[in-house]
């Protein structure tokens, strides 16, 4: 709901007064100038990050590049897909197997947001689209996310992920030692690949 009059609202998150939680995750497709927004309704977990990858690959990636055998994902170093935690690396091969496409991940090191295209070309336009808006319903949020376009060609989408995600998973030593991930020789902490079983590993 958008109103020309001032609306009284909290200036910080107040979960006990909210009807639910909304976890926004954005992606930016540089070549197509698209900004898919995924809106989670549960918890910010590794499976949520994996579902975002899978949804984008199936719904957008295959349509734009149907013959692609690999995909490059540039990620920052925070959140459920950060460089350090092992859970996302454990889940990633399953997503690659489901899509049949190699997934190469390259993390931007910490404090390098100025080089992150997502932060420069997508995220600044979302607060502008939300100015003066009261998030009264989920439909309101989805609608405004889909309207965060620019005159230079940026187009956005809004996808609600309704799956419930459990918290409390632990990355055991056995899990860490048995990751089905191929780490690059150069900066392996930030660069690695998840490869479907039928694909050929090329170092």
**Residue 200 pLDDT:** 47
| Residue 2 included in any domain | no
| Residue 172 included in any domain | yes
| Residue 12 included in any domain | no
| Residue 1 included in any domain | no
Separation between Cα atoms, residue 106 and residue 187, nearest integer Å: 10
**Residue 167 pLDDT:** 87
Separation between Cα atoms, residue 23 and residue 158, nearest integer Å: 12
82: left (phi over 0), alpha (psi -120 to 50) or beta: beta
| Residue 114 included in any domain | yes
Domain of residue 162, residue span = 19-194
Cross-strand partners of 39: 24, 160
pLDDT tens track for 141-176: 999 988 888 888 899 988 899 999 888 888 889 988
**Residue 166 pLDDT:** 87
How confident is the prediction along the chain (203 residues), in pLDDT tens digits per residue? 566 777 777 777 777 788 888 888 888 988 888 899 999 999 888 888 888 888 888 778 778 788 888 899 988 877 777 778 788 888 899 888 888 889 999 998 877 767 778 888 888 899 888 887 888 889 999 999 888 888 888 999 888 999 998 888 888 899 888 899 999 999 998 999 999 986 544 44
Report the number of distinct structural domains present in the chain: 1
> Which class for 194: exposed (0-12), middle (13-18), buried (19 or more C-beta within 10 A)?
buried
| Residue 168 included in any domain | yes
For CA atoms 192, 195, 199, 201, give the dihedral sign: positive
Separation between Cα atoms, residue 104 and residue 70, nearest integer Å: 7
| Residue 169 included in any domain | yes
| Residue 8 included in any domain | no
CB 191 within 8 Å of CB 105: yes
């Amino acid at each position: 709901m958008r109103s020309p009059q001032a609306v009284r609202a909290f200036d910080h998150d107040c979960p006990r007064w909210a009807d639910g939680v909304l976890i926004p995750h954005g992606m930016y497709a540089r070549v197509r100038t698209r900004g898919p927004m995924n809106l989670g309704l549960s918890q910010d977990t590794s499976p949520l990050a994996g579902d975002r990858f899978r949804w984008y690959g199936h719904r957008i990636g295959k349509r734009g590049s149907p013959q692609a055998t690999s995909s490059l994902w540039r990620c920052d170093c925070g959140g459920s897909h950060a460089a350090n935690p092992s859970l996302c690396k454990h889940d990633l091969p399953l997503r690659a197997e489901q899509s049949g496409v190699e997934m190469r991940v390259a993390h931007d090191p910490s404090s390098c947001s100025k080089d992150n295209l997502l932060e420069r070309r997508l995220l600044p336009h979302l607060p502008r689209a939300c100015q003066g808006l009261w998030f009264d319903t989920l439909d309101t949020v989805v609608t405004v996310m889909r309207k965060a376009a620019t005159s230079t060609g940026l187009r956005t989408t809004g996808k609600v992920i309704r799956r419930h995600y459990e918290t409390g998973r632990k990355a055991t030593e056995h899990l860490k030692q048995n990751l089905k991930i191929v780490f690059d020789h150069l900066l392996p902490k930030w660069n690695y690949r998840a490869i479907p079983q039928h694909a050929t590993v090329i170092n």
